[in-house]
Amino acid sequence: MAQSADYTLYYWPIYARGYLPALIASVGGLSFHWDKTVEWPAFKSETPFGQLPVLKTKDGLTVGQSLAIVRFLARKAKLQGETDAEFAMSEQLIQEAEDIFGGLAKAQYQPDRTAAMDEFFKTGIKKHLDSLAKLLKGDTFTGKLLAGDIAIFSVLEIATRLQADALDSHPSIKKFHAHVAANDKIKSVGNGLNDYFKRKSD
């Protein structure tokens, strides 16, 4: 199937694994399309690991695994940093964002989701915010808006959609989140997305 964009992401229209790749593509100005109508499990045979998201390039390359997609797009968008210090900071922020995302996902799937989310927002996220506050320098962590900065924003956006005051205990992180959220290229990605994570038990 021919595609007009240089990069096409296949994933559902939700604030989850597809959100960060789309943010990076938008900030980086890539020719990018998010196919939110992917049919599952019919599409499964086209994935490297039997899961989504999957990225396909116009020249026929298929990339699986969400963080591999993130790093691939960051490389194409030149958002990995120009110096060793920028690259190192950006990379560790990507991994830190993944840790926070993992904490949310763990709480999401607990039998008592409400209690698990209560605990996450009371104590689980605090250690991450404490560490991030020490690394933040000005409006961003790297002095630019690199892939790692965007990764941290993406998971904080998901968190604050679940609990609006999640960042109130860390004013500098809250300011960072607001600063990135005001970027028009960031704003545009959220249009039409639905929440995947839930704060309360069903």
Give the pair of three-digit tokens for residue 71.
Answer: 């790093």
Specify which residues 34 forms β-bridges with.
9
Would you say the pTM of this structure is higher than 0.85? yes
Q: Percent of the chain having pLDDT more than 90?
A: 98
Query: What residue ranges in 17-153 does DSSP mark as E strands?
Result: 32-35, 54-57, 62-64
CB 178 within 8 A of CB 137: no
Given a cut of 90, whether residue 3 has pLDDT beyond it is: no
Residue with tokens 């704003």: 187
Annotated domain spans of the chain: 7-78, 84-183
Instruction: State residue 1's pLDDT score.
Output: 44
CATH of 7-78 among 1.10.1660.10, 1.20.1250.20, 2.60.40.2580, 3.40.30.10: 3.40.30.10
The 10s digit of each residue's pLDDT in 4-58 is: 999 999 999 999 999 999 999 999 999 999 999 999 999 999 999 999 999 999 9
Binning pLDDT at 50, 70 and 90, where does residue 199 land?
A: very high
Given a cut of 80, whether residue 2 has pLDDT beyond it is: no
CATH of domain 84-183: 1.20.1050.10
Binning pLDDT at 50, 70 and 90, where does residue 70 land?
A: very high
Listed in sequence order, the DSSP H helices in the chain are: 19-27, 66-76, 84-108, 113-119, 125-135, 147-162, 171-181, 184-187
Mean per-residue pLDDT for 162-174?
A: 98
